[in-house]
Every structure is written in C-alpha cells, then in structure tokens.
Amino acid sequence: MLVGILLVVATVASFEGDSSLFTGTGTLASQWFPIALLGVYALVQIGCLALYRFGHSVYKIGFALLHLGILIMLVGFLAGAIGGERYFQTYVIGGSPDNVIYREDDSSAYPIDCYVTATDFKLERYDPDESGNQADKYYRVDLIFIEPSGEQESAYLEMNRTYRREGLKYYLMGYNEGKTTTGQDGQTYSLLNGTLVQSYDAQNYADLYEKVLADYPDTALDWRFFNWEQGAYSSSSGSRDENDSWKYYAAYSDYPCYGHVSDDNGRIHVQVYPKLVTLLIKRDPGEYAVLAGMGLTVAGTVMTCLFRKRKRGPADGESERKGAGE
C-alpha cells in the first residue's frame, strides 16, 4: 500500500514538473514528507514483525536487513530535513576573507567560526565544437580557512570533490571566470548572481580604457571590444530589444570582464566583474545514516534475491524444452 502511494506521488510529481505541489519547496521538499513516510513505514514494519516469525536463513536475514536499511535511510533523510541547512556564499578570487555565509531559504546571514578566502581558480575547457562552444573540462578553486587565532588551513574544491570542516560540507557550485563570451547580451550578468563589484562612468572608450587600466595595471593590454551600431547588431538569440540598440559589450582577454551600456547622454556605464566562485555549504546530520541505510538495503536485496532457493517448476527440468543456448 505504502509503495503504491509513493508510486502515485512520484508519478504525479513527474507530470507536474517544477511547478509541482510536490517539488521545489512543496510537499516532497518539506520535512513533513520524510516524517510521514517514516511514520507509516515504521508502523508497517512493526506490524509485520508482530505478525510474522522470521527465521535465520540468508533469505530471511536479507529480507529483514532490506527493510531495516530503508528504515535507517528514512531516519537519515528525516534528520537531514529537520536538522540540516543549506547555505551559499560567493567569494571573489583574491578577495578579502569573510566569515559569513547565507541561508539558502531566506538569505539570512549565518556567521561561521572562521574566515574563508578564495585564492585561486582554475578552469580548463574542451576544444571548441562546431558552434564555437567550449564545454567545461575541469575546474578547481583553492581556499584558505583562517581561524580566529590566525591559524590557516588550505583546501581545494573541484568537480566531484567536496571539503568537510566543522560539520559543514563545502561544494563548488558555480563560478565566473571574469570573462564574457562575445556576442552575448546582458544575460551574461546573471552568471554573477547580480554581484556588482565595481562600476565606472566613462565618456568614451579611451576614457574608459584609462580608468580601468589605472585600477588593473597588471593585466595584459589586449582589449577586445565588440560593439554594434544601431541596426547592425544581430543577436543569435534574436531576443534583443530594438529600442535598446546602443548596447556595447566588451570582453577582456583575461581578467576582469566588462559589460557596458551607453545611456541617453552618451555616457558609458561599465560594470566590472572579477573572477569569483559560488560555494554551496551544507550541514546534513543524517548523511551517514542515509549511507548506512543504503548499504544495508543493497545487502538485503542481494541476500534476498540472489541467495534464495530456486523453486523448480514441473517443466523446469531437462525435458524437451531444452533449446538453443543450452
């Protein structure tokens, strides 16, 4: 019955998609779902224990382990749903250390017991495909955790590599390499979580160039400006607003990235974004219980399904049924 209900819930969720009552912040994401699931499942299992006598064969021990494993897994999910928390923080590469992270659900600040700074970010890409797109191949960020005592601890995050510290698990979830792709429109900014680091007002490119160069004297001088006169711009997405035709985009060869827009007075507003990374920081008190539950469940299914005695049916012998492959 429980499996059937879960089946119906999952099927409805699959057809409802992201707007579903079940997904996102809905029922399935709330802590009440694992509570209800665990409650009903535990009751069913206790009822079964009371009604049936379990022997000591591999099959029966496996059967018990399987259901115990699911129970432990649900307890783990419940612990995670109740006591767990997810946070985000964006670190500018080479920026000043910060000891605040932000809760995912309400963006409220949460102080941690050490300061964190990102010192370096590496990104490798595959060769461009036929459309000129380059898929990510590898990325890594180097971090330093600074204790209030001044003691420092180095760590790094990369694809499929997390870092655990003081009950928190750090994930590298997003980055901006401080560079934009030519021809993209203002949506490029969305990669940066709206974080405006620095802005300039400039009357023309030469003015802009001098101002930016004054702040970033160490960067190479290989400017590549891409600008489109009114009517000459052709966006591949085709979503560009014609009234907004005096947009200028610039991509700098290395660091940082500039997106700039001219206003009605002909002034150029420039937004400068450095390299930055976004980390997911998670606290999940139920994680190990979930892993243990999964292990028990798999062990249980193996013992139950693969070590059972095979019933030999009446026509299952070496009769005329023997055919190709035998």
Residues that bind another protein (CB under 8 A): 3-4, 6-7, 10-11, 13-14, 17-18, 22-23, 28-29, 77, 86, 126, 129, 135-139, 159-160, 162, 169, 171, 173, 280, 282, 287, 290-291, 294, 297-298, 301-302, 305-306, 308, 310-316, 320-326
Among residues 286, 266, 293, the alpha carbon closest in space to that of 77 is found at 286
60-90: burial string, b at 16+ Cβ within 10 Å, e else: bbbbbbbbebbbbbbbbbbbbbeebbebbbb
* Least distance to another protein, CB of residue 54, Å: 14
Smaller CB separation from another protein, 113 or 136: 136
Beta strand residue intervals within 135-275, DSSP E: 136-146, 152-158, 163-165, 168-176, 198-202, 223-227, 247-252, 257-262, 268-273
Q: Which is nearer to another protein, 168 or 261 (CB)?
A: 168
CA 203 to chain centre: 41
Hey, what are 103's tokens? 């809760």
- Output the DSSP codes for 293-308: HHHHHHHHHHHHHHSS
We find the least distance from the C-beta atom of residue 188 to another protein, in angstroms, to be 20
266: left (phi over 0), alpha (psi -120 to 50) or beta: left
Strand (E) or helix (H) holding 276: strand 276-283
CB of 293 to another protein, least distance (A): 9
- What is the rounded CA–CA span in Å between residue 79 and residue 72? 10
Shortest distance, position 152 Cβ to another protein, whole Å = 26
Packing angle between helix 58-83 and helix 32-51, nearest 10 degrees? Answer: 150
Nearer to another protein, 54 or 138 (CB): 138
The CA-atom distances, in angstroms, between 43 and each of 76, 77, 161, 233 are 17, 17, 39, 66
| 158 touches 139 (CB < 8 A) | yes
Nearest-approach distance from CB 129 to another protein, in angstroms: 8
Strand (E) or helix (H) holding 98: strand 98-103
* Nearer to another protein among residue 24 and residue 213 (C-beta): 24
Report d(CA 165, CA 309) in Å as an integer: 48
CB of 92 to another protein, least distance (A): 22
- The minimum distance between CB 52 and another protein, in angstroms, equals 11
Minimum separation from the CB atom of position 135 to another protein (A): 5
